[in-house]
A and B are shown apart, each in its own frame.
Chain A
Amino acid sequence: TQLLEQSPQFLSIQEGENLTVYCNSSSVFSSLQWYRQEPGEGPVLLVTVVTGGEVKKLKRLTFQFGDARKDSSLHITAAQPGDTGLYLCAGGPGAGSYQLTFGKGTKLSVIP
C-alpha cells in the first residue's frame, strides 16, 4: 500500500509570511498532484508534476517533485487570506491503475 505523509498537519500564519508544506512517501510515484480544498467543497487540482526534480510555479505557489519521485513540496510566498484551505497531495497512478492515493492534508490558515 502506498502511503503519503503530509506535514505539518496544521499551519497558522500571518498574512505576508512564506510557508512550505511537505508530502513524503517511501514509494515512488509516476506523478504527484496537489489539490486545494475549501470547506463544503471538493478538492480542486492545482498542479501535476511528473518528472523527478521538476519545479512548477503558479503565481505565488511553487511546487517541486523530488528527484526520486517519492516526495514533493509546496511553497507559498507572501501568503494571503485567500490561500486558506486544506492542501492535499496525491500520488499515482501506478502501472495499470488510474486511482490516486491522497495524503491527509495540511490545513492552512492565513490570518489577516
Chain B
Amino acid sequence: DSGVTQTPKHLITATGQRVTLRCSPRSGDLSVYWYQQSLDQGLQFLIQYYNGEERAKGNILERFSAQQFPDLHSELNLSSLELGDSALYFCASSVGKGGYTFGSGTRLTVV
C-alpha cells in the first residue's frame, strides 16, 4: 500500500457519460497530481493541486476538471466521454519537490 488511495479501480461507461475519479493523498502530502497513461502517449500530466488550490495545468481537456477539498482529497471529473478517453488515470501526491507516490490507478474504459 503506497498510502495514496484511488477509487474506483475499474470503470466502464458509455460515450457521452460523466464520471468522477477520487484520490486520497498520502498523509501529510499537500500536493496532488493527476496523470493520464495510455499505451501510445505514456504518462501525461493533467493537473496539480496544492493545499486546495490549482497550481499547474498540463494537457487537460476542457471536458475534464478537478478539485481538491479541505481534507486534501481530490476528484477528477471527466464529462462527455469519448472512446479516446479510455486510459489509466493516476493520482500521485508529494511533499514539496520530492518524488511522487502514486496510487494504483483507475482504469477507465469508454464503450
Q: Which residue of A lies closest to B103 (CB)?
A: A42
| Cβ-defined contact, B48 with A98, below 8 A | yes
A88 CB–B CB distance under 8 Å: yes
Question: Contacts A98-B55, A99-B58; is A43 near B102 (CB within 8 Å)?
Answer: yes
Q: Contact: A97 with B56, CB < 8 Å?
A: yes
| B70 contacts the other chain (CB 8 A) | no
Which of chain B's residues has its CB closest to A48's CB?
Answer: B99
> Can you list 5 A-B pairs, Cβ within 8 angstroms, ordered by A?
A41-B104, A98-B50, A98-B56, A99-B56, A100-B45
Q: In the complex, are the beta carbons of A93 and B42 less than 8 A apart?
A: no
Q: Does A80 contact B (CB under 8 A)?
A: no
Q: Quick check: A31 and B97 within 8 Å, CB to CB?
A: yes
How many chain B residues touch A (CB < 8 A): the figure is 27
| Interface mask (B90-108 → A, CB under 8 Å = 1, otherwise 0) | 1010101111111111000
Please name 4 further chain A to chain B contacts, defined as beta carbons within 8 Å, in addition to the given A98-B33, A98-B48, sorted by A numbering.
A31-B97, A43-B100, A99-B33, A100-B45
List A73-108 residues whose CB lies under 8 Å from chain B.
88, 90, 93, 97-105
Residues of A within 8 A of B102 (CB): 35, 42-44
- Residue pairs across A and B with CB atoms within 8 Å: the count is 62
Chain B residues near A (Cβ < 8 Å): 2, 4, 31, 33, 35, 41-43, 45, 48, 50, 55-56, 58, 90, 92, 94, 96-105
Q: Is A11 an interface residue (CB 8 A)?
A: no
Distance, CA A52 to CA B97, complexed state (A): 18
Return chain B residues, CB-CB under 8 Å to A101. 45
Q: B104 to A98, Cβ gap below 8 A?
A: no
The reply to whether B42 and A48 contact each other, CB–CB distance below 8 Å, is no
What's the Cα separation between A33 and B90 when bound, in Å?
17
Alpha-carbon distance between A81 and B103 when the two chains are bound, in angstroms? 24
Whether A103 lies near B45 (C-beta < 8 A) is no
Indicate which residue in A30, A44, A104 contacts B42 across the interface (CB closer than 8 Å).
A104
A112, CB-defined interface residue at 8 Å: no
